Structure formats: structure tokens, C-alpha cells
Structure 1
Amino acid sequence: MFQKVCIVGLGLIGASLAQAMLDRRLTDHIVACDFNQNSLDTALEIGLIKHGSTDLVSLLTDCDLVVISVPVKAVLPIFRTLGGAIKDGFTGLITDVCSTKVNVIDASLQIERELGVSFANFVPAHPIAGAENSGVLARKADLFVAHQLIICPNKTTNPNAVKKITELWQNVGASVTTMTAERHDSVLAHTSHLPHLLAFNLVNQFSHHNDNMDIFRFAGGGFRDFSRIAGSDPTMWHDIFLANKTAILHAIDDYEKHLNDFKQLIINENSEKIIAKLTDARHARRHFGHMLNQNKSTQTDNTMKQTYIIKPAHKFTGTHTVAGDKSISHRSIMFGSLAKGVTTVTGFLEGEDALSTLQAFRDMGVNIERNGDKVVIHGVGMNGLKAPTKPLDMGNSGTSMRLLAGILSAQGFDSVMIGDPSLSKRPMERVAKPLREMGAKVQTTGEKGTPPVSITGNQPLQGITYNMPMASAQVKSCLLIAGLWANGKTTVTEPEVTRDHTERMLTAFGYKVEKNGNEISVIGGGELTACDIAVPADISSAAFFMVAAAIAKDGDVTLSKVGINPTRTGVIDILKLMGADITLANETIVGGEPVADIIVKSSKLKGIEIPEHLVPLAIDEFPVLFVASACATGKTVLHGAEELRVKESDRIQVMADGLKVLGVDCTVLDDGIEIIGKGDVDNVFGGGEIECHHDHRIAMSFTVASLRASDTITIHGTETVNTSFPNFAGLVNGAGLNVDVVGEI
């Protein structure tokens, strides 16, 4: 990655980074500046560096990276030297590893003003890693593996420099996060700086105690573990405490308040509140452990595994049966497991998402037999689930995690749900918050409330009335399912009608559901009775074929036995408003769900303003509808689709980025998008490379775009397509596309 690297400061972090870069062949030429000649001599002797000096200027010739690894109060003179070098033509990247960021950025800005130079190539960074010992001989090449690295770019920081430094840290094993310098200093004041201060203070307090010998002699493992960090470098921590003074003082004030509260509970012998406080802390610590384990398990799973390379095509025809309905497949496993008796499911979706739900119930003691798309579930009843022996892995399935949260909140055992790197970024507070109102104890991770999700068992639930702030079938379903165990009535009011598979299937399993307009209610304490479920073809999967046929020069497809639940047919309604040639045939009812064959032919589409009442009824289909909009004549406008920003990716932004790569004019809105269609030309799209951010619907949507493309479209990160639509590439190739799957998993 770099021809010549200069490390300024050969402490533990600087020396470890140097060793990691050498071991991973990221450079073969490292020089170092340090004011301790012994450190330089040692580094030279062991072959860590090729040259060392106490004079930084003499080392900068031909350097393309400088890493500042000195105590935080010592950065100003380093920046002054580097500022002079920039004035003389130095163009290399600069980064740091300091534990505070505001003062480091302030130092760079001060030198910018003094010397009239730009530090645009300076990328402030902080690896959250360390060890008791310091210095060159304490270096560890794997010190950063499975640890966080925080980057705090300034407003003027060069984005290309950020990208390069991000790649550097990822290549030495770190997981990179970006945040503001102010946020960094506040977070680290609580999670790192305060604990170190307390450790130093506690050891100092005990060392001056009259019984200090006995205190240290009989100290338990907890004290040893906690006080270990007091063995860190005093100079470094002196500088950190002063550099981050404001944030640390706030953290100390907060700590003192909580400590005094605890002290008062002990004085008053308030056993109930002491137990509650200790129990909450215990659950929080366990959740923290799950979070750390999840971070380690996903560190090496961020690389893209599969790519689609798609040559232009013009024909899309034939009769096809698409994948089974994912929503119904999920719910059939859940309700079949909780029912009394044996449930047989046919047409089950064999995608990874639905299989994650199936495995989760197997992990909770349910006997489930599967032979292809036929599944036989031996239900255990409402109170028959058993505690899993490990975290429940939901893979990429947000539906599994959100609906299961409602079930797990009512169980008599503790549980943890984890997911893959994509799912681990998706918000779960939208179900956790109302579940807490029902009495559940649910913990999510971080300020965004993402997985892992920890749920404390044996909590009595109380029915509530919940007005959903945003239409979401997953939130509605989660709360209705939790309501099956709650005391009294649970009522959910949705602002717009959403898919009603949960209500229909509960009814099929013999559980009474009340519906009054947009209010849906259940009363807790009932039972589910096993029944057979026939899963229709998924209209969300059919949508890709529908749009493909509509935009193709030669388009004519029949899609067999597709579910046309009226809460899911928004995609048909929107395409018809755009002028699509769509007809339904052989309409019937299967397992309580309406089903039909859908016939779509080549169409001249027109841009429209999408009615907001249709948005919740087509929420999963909008990525491919954006492709249809690009092939329409005139402008298409979407509002009221904030939900798209919290799917597997921010589907509004990611689709807009891809459309722009392919030459389509579009504007991102807070709650939607405007797309200027080019329907009057044969080749609406050019060629190009698309990052689908491991979002299956993004990948499949841009695959469809090849029917109106002038050149090859390459889509990276397509391995998640298997989560919802197994054999998608094979099926669309059979209809006329030219999809080459590279790196198939």
C-alpha cells in the first residue's frame, strides 16, 4: 500500500502497527522518529525499521505515509514540523493514533493558520487497542485484529485520504468506524478514560491505606483484573486526562451521581432497588459480552463474496414459477412451532432468511422435518419452547429478528439474537421500545439500537395500545405476537394499511384477531391449533419479473400462482398507474391467501407521482420500481417512504447512487426520490460497476436494468440474493438475461 512509511513514536501502538504492516506486506520500508535513542537502536537491531532519527525532517523525503504515535500533548510540535514540510512540497498522507481527537485536530488547525498550509491529507484516527507493557519490545503484530478503529475526519479532510487510511487499518485486522471528534472524545471519556482514572485512583488509594499489605495480599481476581490497567504509561494518561479534560469531568460527575445513589440505597437498606440495580447491571454486562463476541465473529466476514456480470439483453419471456412467499414462510415456522399438533407446510421458501427462522426454532427444541420445500413442524404449544444453548443467529433476516423479539420477550428463559454484518447495522429499537412498554426487558446495541439483541426471560407482559409512528408490518406483527402471551388486550394502530399475513395466519391457526379499521387487536392467553399451510409464490420476487417484462423490448411472461394479498399488491397498482400491461388470471384462494397467475407484456411506461397510500403496500418492491421509473417517460416522484432507509441498506440512497452510475438523473429526498425517466430511448442505462451493499433487492433490481442497458453492468456483493430468492440468476437467464455469476458461494 505504501512505498515508505514514517512512524513518529515507537511506543506499543506505533511499533505494533509497523510490525503488522511488515508482516502483511503493506510496505517494506519503514523509518521512525523517536526522541529515545535506545528505542531507535532496538528497532534497527530487530529489523523493524530501516532508519531512525530524532530529526523528523530528515526522514520525510519520499514518505507517502506518516503515523503520529506520541502522547497527545506532544502533537503540536510534530504538526509544526509537518506543516513546514508541506510548505516545502511534502504530499504524503498523515494520520495519528492518539486517544483524544479534538485537541489533535485543533493542533493541526493552529498550524494551518500559522503557516498558511493545508492538512487536507491528515486523517485523525484512534485504534481501541492496548496492553500493559509499552515500547518496541512489547509490540504485537495482531494487536489490532478484531478491535475497533475510529476515524474522525475534519470538514476539510480529503475523502481519498480517509479511504486509504481505512484500507490500511482494515488490512491489519481492525473494524473501522467513523464519528465526529467531539463524539469520540465524549464516548472514550466514559468507556476508556474514566475506567483508567478510577483504576489509577483506586490502586493509589489502597497503596496509602494502613492495611495496604493485607488489601493487596487478599485482593480477588476482580480487583486484579480491574487494577491491571493502572500499570499503563503514566505520561500518556496524564496527557489524555488533561487533553480531554471537559469530557472526563462530565464523566466523573455522572459517575459520582450514580455512586452516591447506590450509596444511599445501601444506607437505607433498600433491598428491592439494590437487587434491581445489580440485576440491570448484570444483564447489561452480559449484553456487552454478546456484543463483543458478535464483533469478533463478524470481523472477517466483511469481504464481498460474489459478483454479477450482466451483458445487455432485449428479450424476457416465458412461464415461470418464482420463489415462495418469504413473509408467509417465516410465519408458518413460527406459528407451527407454537401450535398444538403437527403443521405441514408446502411451497416453503428455501432461501437463507426463512431457513434462519427454521433453525432458530430447532435451536429452541422444536422438531422440524424438511424435504425440499415441504416442511413438517411438530408444534410444542405456547409454552413449550426451550432455552437455546447459544445465541440465535438470524443471518441476514430482519423479519426473523423483529418477529422473534415478540416471541422471545414472553419466554421463561434469557435469549440473544445475532446476525450477519448487514443485519448487525439495522435498527431494532422500533420493536424493542414498544416491547419494553409491555414489560419486556430488551437490550439492543449502541446508540442506533442494532443487534445483538439480548432479552431477559420470565417477564410478565401487559397488553398495550400502540399507535405506530410509521407503517411497518414487522413492528405490528412483533407486538401482536407478543400480545398472545400478554395480560389483557394488545391493540396496534397503523397509520397506513400494511401486509396482513400475521393476522390471516393467526386466524388460520384458530386464534381470534379483532380488526376495526386500522386497529388490530388480540387478547392474550389463547392457544394455536396446527393446520396445513400452502405457501404461494412471493409477489416481491415476482416484481423483478414483472418489471423486466414491462421494460423489455420483447417482454411477455406468465408468473404462476403468485400471492395477491391486497396488502401486498401495491407493486401491481403502481405499475398499472405507470401504464404497464398487466392482467391476472386463474384467481383462487389457497390456505386463506388469494392467488393468481400474473401476465405482463412489454409496455410504454410513464412517470407518475406515486400515491402515498400505496407506499406501505409496495415497500419491498421500490428498488425495482425505481428501475421501471428510469424506463418511463417523464418524472416519477416518491414521498412517504422513510422506511426504505432502514432496510438491508439505505435503499433510497444506494439505488440513487447506482442509477447515477448508469447515467440516470435522480434526486434523493428525505422520504423518497425523484427520477427523470428516459423512456423515449432504447438504451436507458449505460454500463458500469454497482455496489449493492450486500442488499439482495438492490442486486436483483440492477440485474433487471440490463434489459435497457447499452453496456455490461457489474454488481458487487450479490451473495445475499440467496437469502430471499435462491437460483435467481438461473431463472432470469432462462427468461432471456445474460447473468454471469463470479465467485459463486
Structure 2
Amino acid sequence: MAKKIKRLLVIGLGLIGGSLAKAAKDRNLYDQIIGSSRDYKTLDEAIKTGIIDKAVQDIEDIATEMGDGDLVVIAVPTLAIPAIISQLQPLLSELVTITDVASVKGSVVEAVNEVYRCSPSQFVPGHPIAGSEKSGIGAVDAFLFENHQVILTPSSATGCDHIDRVKKLWIGVGASVSEMKVVDHDEILAATSHLPHILAYALVDMLSSMRKNQEVFRYAAGGFGDFTRIAASDPVMWHDIVMANKKAITSALGDLTKHIDFIKQAISLGDSEYLLDVFAHARETRNHFDQMRENKTYLKPIAQTVDYRVSPGGCIKGKVVVPGDKSISHRAIILGSIANGVTNISGFLEGEDSLATLQAFRDMGVVIKRPAKGCVEVHGVGLNGLQAPSGPLYLGNSGTSMRLLSGLLAAQSFDVVLTGDESLSKRPMERVVSPLRKMGAVIAMNKNGLPPLKIKGGVDLKAIDYKLPMASAQVKSCILLAGLYAKGQTSTIESVATRDHTERMLAGFGYHVDRKEFSASLRGKGELKSTIVNVPADISSAAFYMVAASIAPGSDVILPHVGVNPTRIGVINILQMMGADIRLSNKKEVSGEPVADIQVRYAPLHGIEIPVDQVALAIDEFPVLFVAAACATGKTILRGALELRVKESDRIQSMADGLTVLGIDVTTTPDGIEIEGGSILGGEIDSKDDHRIAMAFSIAALRAKEIILIHNCNNVATSFPGFVEQANKSGLSISEEKR
């Protein structure tokens, strides 16, 4: 029996259709690529240049021959699609998959349903977010779709096999594929694509009517060229798009007109503060757009992978000021955004993770200013004032952002999707989603309980009493944030105390929390009032220098204004049990959080069995504590630390692997590790893209006999921007290598 030929028919060989045909042909995705066009010259050129294998002017000549597994792509102007569908409907088998590339989906779906008198299972509406100002067969680019998105808008009646075929085509030509509702697609594209084209056409048309238009264009700056570049696109195509998406575009134009009127009024009245707010907010939002679209970091983009080469030896001396507390920075932005009034934050950690939280609230309509380094001004919108973001909230590498925001957003009136980078997308979210579902939240995840999280809005949450199966401040905080919106009293009960920053800060915002040793309770439907938040230095960042000074002979370091919250000082307690020389002075309370200056001098360490009640108090500091254990005499034993396996990496295994490379005897258990102190050698370490793993092994080099090369250190910026520069000033010797 002869093998069935797998065919792709592309109707319309302009830029999109021709590029798709060429890309599929070059990658051998089909046995035969067929092109259809009413223009004979276009077909002739497509054959000569190898864009297609076969040309047909009349689709009736090929449509009846197509069968199961074959795919038809309609790549004609939007308003011409109904005629093509009418022509195809009586000819194609229902086993043939049909898709399109129109940038408007509502009118296309309506036309298809009218022709078929139902929603056909074989039709998969699609829209590649790619293009060029050039058009026609001469503009064909086989790489046009690489690293671009394609949006599919299937209905509930669309067949899964047909959707899979279309996905395989687009993925095969280098694109990524996502799905969206038709109405959401048209509203979003109206604002982000159709409206900018209308504005570009309108501006160029206005300037062309000026008496001195030649001078206008001759002296136009680069910004004019960048903005109006899209006005060189095919006018017929854009006429069709605008006419097909009238409702959504009219709405977007109305919103823009109101916004421009406000700006016009501000200019007329000399309201410089309003103008500065608009421009600053727009700049930050535009930068975030680039970061989200290209999966970039929030700080200065690093185009290459960064490794650390750390020379052996050295000691730590002097005063070292570490960045602000990450946990408190997150919570200050969250609570400030839903409070009434303006909250001023100082000492804010300008690292990747906390900036992700900041931008998420900007995306939900909160005005947040950053007037100076470490200072943030949050214009709260109240408990019910958040607005639906225009798309998914991209949270980078921040698990704290995703877990805390899932609780807050489960009670909003709008749907929202929480996404992150590759690392965050592998982190389990079931432990926050499960209690939220008990409260009535509707949240969908990928298989195995992984992000993205799709949270349905408009749900009334109910209060619960929840006993945490595993100690976690993130889970506790998630539930309490959801409890702000629930009717009645929400309570969390822990087996051991975890960090209580959320409870302390809620009190600082005037919201009563009933606290006992292992429980926290609050009543929903209250009000948060703006306040002043002074973020202390992060004890998790200070921990690296505390261990560094403890293990390197001759060290003497002072770490000022460090947060010493009783639920966070496990690292101090554990190091002192091991024999470390640590002293606290200048103790005081700032914004509800205890702070102190910490002095650490070198002292020989010895191994211990870490008390279980200290585990939750030092959960983020264990990577560097494992380095301290490797430099101590005797054995250090840790148990009850299962949470370490679900951090940015499996921190038990990541540290065990690295320490083994460095010659340390290590044994892992399901919830802990045993480390026999010894001599640290040199070697190559994989940080697993985990910032704390990378920094911990940098500290280990102080006692190493040879160079330690640490791979994949880009994510250090998530919690400690400027780590390498500061570490080198303090006594380490780290060089960054990019590859």
C-alpha cells in the first residue's frame, strides 16, 4: 500500500502565507507544499524561488484531493476570508484541518460559523504575531516566525487533533504557541497592534498636509522614524483589519482620547507632577514589556551566561552594608498597593524578585514611583481597587511573588494568569493552591502542580482554619492575604514558628492580626492604611558574610542595620552553637521590625546536630550554613528541612553535589543532610541557576586550596545585586566570566 502524502495548502502567498510555506518547505514539515493565488506571476515566482512544490490558481483543483492529516492555511486579507471559506466548505473533508492567519478573530469566526451553520471542529483560528512593512512574494522570509508568538483561539467545538496539527506547524517553523479567547484576542490586539498602526498613519497623514511638510520630514528625529515606521505597511490590509475589528478599536480609541485630553489639560495648566507621573509610569511599563516579551531580567540585561571564577584564600574585614530584606520588600509593595493612601518605603531591595512584585502591581493599575535608590512611593488603591492587567503577570524567578500574589488575586473581580521564567515554571505551587481552593478559589495549573497559575476572578472566598502540613511562611502569608477578602475569620496553624513579616506589617498598616506562638488569625473585609516602611538589611544576605568571617582566619566584619526578627535569626543561633564569635549591638525597632548591627570575628567551628526548631528560622540560609559545616571539625546533621528540596533548586542535592566535588564527605536524606567537615579542594560547580547556591560556593573559596569555578550565576541579581563588586571589596577574589 502506497504511503499517504502529507500536504500543506497555503491560500495566499503574500508575506505571511509565502513565508510560512517557505519555512515549512525548508524544514521538510510536509511531503508537499501547495500554494494558491489568483495572480499567475506570484505562483510562477513561488515555484521558481522554491517557496512551494506545486501551484494552483483554482483551489477547487486541489481541495477535493486533500484528506486526513492535511492542513489548509488561509492567508488572504481579513475581509476576503468569508469568500474563501464559502468556496472550501463543500469541497474539503471534515478530516482536513483549516486555519487562518488574520489579526482579527471575531469577524473570521463569525463568518466561518455562518457558512458552516455551526462551529466546525476542523477550523482552528490562528494569528501569528509577526510581520514586516514589506509585502508580497518578494518579501518572503523563511525565518519570519522564529522566536515569535502565535495565538490560537479555538472554540469548545474545535477538535483536539486539529489543534495539535496547527500547533505542530507553528512550532515546526520556530514559533511558540498560546491559546486565548476570541474576544480577549481582539481587545488586546486592538490596543497593542491595531491602535498603534492607526496612530502612525494619522500622524504621518497630518504632517503630510502641513505647508512645510518637506522640512518637517527632513528634520524629523529618530523617534519619529521609529514610531511611524509601521505607516509604511500595506494600507489595504490595515483597512480590512480596522473594519473587521471596529468595536474593539473604537473602544481603545475612546480610552486613548480621554488619556490625551488629561495630558493636554496638564500641559495647559502647567501640571508638571502629573506629566512626570505619566512619563515615568510609561517608561517603567515599556521597560517591563521588553523584559516580559524577551524573558529578560529586571535589572541590566545580561546577554550571556555568567560564571564565577573564585580564587582561594583571603579574609573578610571592615563594614559591609548588605541590600534590603527581600521578604519585607515584597510585602511592603503588596500591602502598600492595597492600602488607602501613599506608602513611602526606604531600603527597598532593587533586586530581580522584588522588582517583579513591584511591576506586577503597576500592571494592575497601581502608581509606584522610585524617586531615589532604595526609596519607593506606592499610591495605594485600597483593598478592592486593583485593575485587570492587560496580559499575564510575569514574575521572573520569584517564587515569593507567585505564592503570595496567588492568595491576593484569588479574591479579585478579574481573571489573571501568573507566569515566570523557566526556573519558576518548574517550582511546585500545589501547597498554596490547595488551601486557596478550600477557601473557594478557582485556580488551574499545569500538570504536576506547576505554573502558570490561571486564577478565575469574581469568586467569593470563605474563611478557613488551616493547619500547614509543612512549615512555610509563604503558604501562611498566601492564606492570610486571601483572608483579607474572606467573610469571617481566617486562621493559620503551624507546627513550628516561621517568619512573621506579614503579620507584623499588617499591624503596621493598621490591620489587626490575632497572633499566638504558632497561629495567626484575621477577619476579612477590613481596611489597610498607608504608612512608612523602613526595610532593614537582609539577614539572608548578611549570612554569607557571617559565614565568611567565621571560617576565614583573620576576619572581622561589621554588618549594620540588619533585620534580627526572632523568626529569622536561625542562622545566628546555629552559627553560635557551632562556636562562631557573633555579637549584636545598637539594637532597636524600625517599622515594627527589630534591627541590630552584627559583628563577626573568625573562630574555629565544630559540627552539631541542628535543632529542628531552628530549621524554619534559617530555611533560606542553609546553603551557606552547609559551607560552614564543611569547614567545621566533626559532623553536622540536619533533619526536618524538606522545604529545601522545593526552593529555586533542590538545595539539599545541589549543595551535596557541589560539596562532593570539593572533596567533602556528604550524605543526603529525604529531609536533610549530614556533612563531615574537612579540607575544601577546588573544582567546577553547577549552581543550578540558584542564586544562594552560587553565593554559598563563592564563600567556600575562602577556605579552598584551589580555584572554584561556579557555573550559571546570572540569578544572583534576584536577591543580591552588586554581590561580586562588594565581595571583592570585602576580601574575596571573584571574577565574572561570560559565555
Normalised-by-shorter TM-score class: 0.5 to 0.7
Q: 1:642–1:203: structure 2 CA closer, same or farther, 3 Å change rule?
A: same
Q: How does 1:638-653 map to 2 (within 5 A)?
A: 638-653=638-653
The match for 1:385 is 386
CA distance in 1, matches of 2:702, 2:711: 19
| TM-aligned CA deviation for residue 11 of structure 1 | 9.2
Instruction: State the match for 2:575 in structure 1.
Output: 575
After superposition, the C-alpha distances for 1:344-365 in whole angstroms (9 at most, x for unaligned) are 0001101011111111111111
**Aligned with 1:561: secondary structure?**
strand
Distance 2:727 2:543 in 1: 12
Q: CA deviation at 1:743?
A: 2.5
Deviation at 1:516, TM superposition (A): 2.8
**Offset of residue 687 of structure 1:** 1.2
CA distance in 1, matches of 2:589, 2:292: 46
Whichever residue aligns with residue 563 of structure 1, its letter is G
Partner of 1:733: 728
**Letter of the aligned partner of 1:420 in structure 2?**
D
Q: Which residue of 1 aligns with 2:676?
A: 676
Taking the aligned partners of 1:704 and 1:644, their CA distance within structure 2 comes to 20
In structure 1, the residue matched to 2:70 is 132
Could you tell me which residue of structure 1 aligns to residue 688 of structure 2? 693
Specify the code of the residue in structure 2 equivalent to 1:532: I
In the alignment, is residue 408 of structure 1 matched against residue 387 of structure 2? no
CA contact (8 A) 1:428 1:451 kept: yes
Distance 1:215 1:397 in 2: 43
Q: Is the 8 A contact 2:538 2:563 kept in 1?
A: yes
Gaps spanning 5+ residues in structure 2: where? 8-21, 32-48, 51-67, 74-91, 97-111, 127-178, 189-290
Matched ranges for 1:688-727 at <5 A? 688-727=683-722
1:298 & 1:599 partners in 2: Cα distance? 40
Give distance in 1, aligned partners of 2:4 and 2:577.
Answer: 67
Pair 1:456–1:687, CA change in 2 (3 A)? same
Q: Is the 8 A contact 1:304 1:717 kept in 2?
A: no
Checking the alignment, whether the CA contact within 8 Å between 2:69 and 2:95 is kept in structure 1 is: no
Q: Do residues 496 (structure 1) and 496 (structure 2) align?
A: yes
After TM superposition, which residue ranges in structure 1, 4 or more long, deviate above 2 angstroms?
A: 9-13, 130-134, 200-204, 214-228, 294-304
Matches within 5 A, 1:428-443: 428-443=429-444
Cα deviation for residue 416 of structure 1 reads 0.7
Give yes or no for contact 2:541–2:720 (8 Å, CA) kept in 1.
Answer: yes
Given that 2:514 and 2:522 are in contact with CA atoms closer than 8 Å, whether structure 1 keeps it comes out as yes
TM-score of the pair, normalised by structure 2: 0.62
Partner of 1:450: 450
Corresponding residue for 1:218? 116
Instruction: List aligned pairs for 1:149-298, cutoff 5 A.
Output: 203=95, 218=116, 222-225=120-123
User: In structure 1, what is the Cα distance between the partners aligned to 2:636 and 2:326?
Assistant: 28
What is the rounded CA distance, in whole Å, between the counterparts of 1:282 and 1:396 in structure 2?
24
Q: What is the alpha-carbon distance in structure 1 between the residues aligned to residue 353 and residue 180 of structure 2? A: 32
**Structure 2 counterpart of 1:395:** 396
Deviation at 1:536, TM superposition (A): 0.3
Q: Distance in 1 between matches of 2:418 and 2:449?
A: 13
Q: Which amino acid letter does the alignment assign opposite residue 728 of structure 1?
A: F
1:12 and 1:489 mapped to 2: Cα distance? 61
**CA apart distance, 1:518:** 1.2
Distance 1:507 1:351, change over 3 A: same
Inter-partner Cα distance in structure 2 for 1:355 and 1:215: 45
Q: Residue 132 of structure 1: CA displacement?
A: 3.5
What is the deviation of 1:216? Answer: 12
Partners of 1:222 and 1:298 lie apart in 2 by 36
**Alignment of structure 1 residues 298-697 onto 2, 5 Å:** 305-370=305-370, 371-446=372-447, 448-678=448-678, 684-697=679-692
Identity rate of aligned residues, in percent? 54
Give the drift of 1:742: 1.9
Specify whether residues 657 and 663 from structure 1 end up closer, same or farther in structure 2 by C-alpha distance, changes over 3 A only. Answer: same
389 and 656 in structure 1: CA distance in 2 versus 1, 3 angstrom threshold: same
When residues 132 and 550 of structure 1 are mapped into structure 2, their CA distance, relative to the original with a 3 A threshold, is farther
Query: Which whole-Å CA distance do the structure 1 matches of 2:393 and 2:521 have between them?
Result: 29
SS in structure 1 at match of 2:431: helix
Compute the displacement of 1:554 (Å).
Answer: 1.7
Q: Could you tell me which residue of structure 1 aligns to residue 158 of structure 2?
A: none
- For 1:627-673, what per-residue CA distance to the aligned partner results, in whole angstroms no more than 9, with x for missing partners? 00000000111000000000000000011011111111101110010
- Counterpart of 2:157 in structure 1 is none
State how 1:9-48 maps to structure 2 within 5 Å. Answer: none
Mapped to 2, the partners of 1:227 and 1:381 lie a distance apart of: 40
Distance in 2 between the 1:652 and 1:23 partners? 46
Deviations 1:210-232 (A, max 9, x none): xxxx999726564223799xxxx
Looking at structure 2, the residues matched to 304 and 716 of structure 1 have their Cα atoms a distance apart, in angstroms, of 12
Deviations 1:506-543 (A, max 9, x none): 00000000113312101001000000000000000000
Q: Deviations over 1:657-705 (max 9, x none)?
A: 1111111110111001010111xxxxx2111111111100000000000
Mind listing any 5+ residue stretches in structure 1 that lack a counterpart? 1-8, 14-18, 25-33, 35-45, 48-129, 139-199, 205-213, 229-280, 679-683
Structure 2 counterpart SS, 1:341? strand
User: What are the Cα deviations for residues 188-244 of structure 1, in whole angstroms up to 9, with x where unaligned?
Assistant: xxxxxxxxxxxx99859xxxxxxxxx999726564223799xxxxxxxxxxxxxxxx
CA RMSD of aligned residues (A): 3.8
Compared CA separation, residues 667 and 599, structure 1 to 2 (3 A): same
Contact preservation (8 Å) 1:583, 1:600: yes
1:343–1:530 Cα contact (<8 Å) kept:
yes
Is the 2:610–2:637 Cα contact (8 Å) retained in structure 1?
Answer: yes
Counterpart of 1:603, as a letter, is A
Once the two structures are TM-superposed, the CA of residue 449 in structure 1 deviates from its matched residue by 1.0
In the TM superposition, residue 133 of structure 1 has moved relative to its aligned partner by 6.8
**Post-superposition shift, 1:624?**
0.3
CA distance in 2, matches of 1:381, 1:450: 30
Change (3 A) 1:369 1:295: closer
- Whether the aligned pair in 1 keeps the contact of 2:113 and 2:119 (CA below 8 Å) is no
CA deviation map 1:423-470 (0-9, x unaligned) = 110011111111011011111111x21111110001000000100000
Kindly indicate whether the alpha-carbon contact (under 8 Å) linking 2:315 and 2:548 is maintained by their aligned counterparts in 1.
no
1:86 — aligned with what?
none
Contact conserved, 1:298 with 1:421, CA < 8 A, in 2?
no
**Relative to structure 1, is the Cα distance of residues 367 and 695 closer, same or farther in structure 2, using a 3 angstrom cutoff?**
same
Q: Secondary structure at the match of 1:530?
A: coil
CA 309–488 in structure 1, closer or farther in 2 if over 3 Å, else same: same
SS in 2 for 1:725: coil
Q: Which amino acid aligns with 1:402?
A: R
Distance between the aligned counterparts of 2:637 and 2:563, measured in 1? 27
Tell me how far apart the structure 2 counterparts of residues 730 and 202 of structure 1 sit (CA, whole Å): 64
How many positions carry a matched residue from both structures?
497
Deviation of 1:481 (Å) = 0.6
Q: Would the alpha carbon gap of residues 496 and 215 (structure 1) be closer, same or farther in structure 2, given more than 3 Å must change?
A: closer
Counterpart code for 2:306: Q
Which amino acid counterpart does residue 121 of structure 2 have in structure 1?
F
Distance 2:472 2:628 in 1: 24
User: Residue 404 of structure 1 aligns to which amino acid in structure 2?
Assistant: L
> Aligned to 1:741, what secondary structure does the other structure show?
strand
